[in-house]
Amino acid sequence: MATQIKLRRDTDTNWTANSTVVLGEGEVGVNLTSGQFKIGNGTSTWAQLNYFSEDSFDATGALVYPNSALQRDTSTVTCPGNASTVVYTASGQYQHTIRLLIQVEGFVGANDIFDTQACEMIIAKSFRANAIAASVYGVVHTSVAPLATFTANWNVLTSKVEVLCTAPGANNVNVRIFATEITTSD
């Protein structure tokens, strides 16, 4: 026998009358009048959630983020040992808030032991000046010491935020980044 799964659903009139309903995290609520749906986060009320639509997904089926927010990943960038290398450049001039998930892999010491490092970085760029504030946190690594350190700066030539990787040892490291960029200038 087939199993039937039903989603939370109601008419537009009833959703409006019960707009303080909170959908659980990942719970789908369907508006039977319009055919649109919302996905709950466990804290926002029905009225606070946005409808998903055809425009919510790109041609590949990936989620399109609202208000100029975007997610992107980089190809692997090799950072030479004892040097600083740009490993990430913001997609646009007005991407002033950026969150990065950073993966680093490389050999440590003369024994060529392959290790991994992961960390996150939050970057904020001032609209009033070219000042950058950045914090690297959650640094975890399988090596004795971190494989790399990260800093952020403002490139005045491109007017974009850049992230630099410094590999403190003599060995190269490979860096890959997954980023979320948002702006309030839309």
Indicate whether 41 and 118 sit together in one domain.
Answer: no
Question: Is 134 in contact with 102 (CB distance < 8 Å)?
Answer: no
Each residue's pLDDT tens digit, 87-102: 999 988 878 889 999 9
CATH at 107: 2.60.40.1680
With pLDDT > 70 as the criterion, what percentage of the chain qualifies?
Answer: 88
Indicate whether 88 and 26 sit together in one domain.
Answer: no
Indicate whether 52 and 91 sit together in one domain.
Answer: no
Q: How many domains does the chain have?
A: 2
Q: How many residues does the chain have?
A: 186
Indicate whether 17 and 100 sit together in one domain.
Answer: no
Q: Which domain holds residue 12?
A: 8-56
151 has pLDDT over 90: yes
Q: Is residue 3, in this structure, part of any structural domain at all?
A: no
Each residue's pLDDT tens digit, 152-178: 999 999 999 999 999 988 889 999 999
Indicate whether 122 and 155 sit together in one domain.
Answer: yes
Indicate whether 50 and 101 sit together in one domain.
Answer: no
Indicate whether 47 and 76 sit together in one domain.
Answer: no
| Residue pointed to by tokens 């649109």 | 36
Indicate whether 90 and 122 sit together in one domain.
Answer: yes
Burial 123-151 (b: 16+ CB within 10 A, else e): bebeeeeeebebebeebebebeebbbbbe
Burial 60-89 (b: 16+ CB within 10 A, else e): eeeeeeeeeeeeeebeeeebeeeeebebbe
Bridge pairing between strands 149-155 and 132-141: unpaired
Q: Is residue 1, in this structure, part of any structural domain at all?
A: no
| Per-residue pLDDT band at 24 (split at 50, 70, 90) | confident
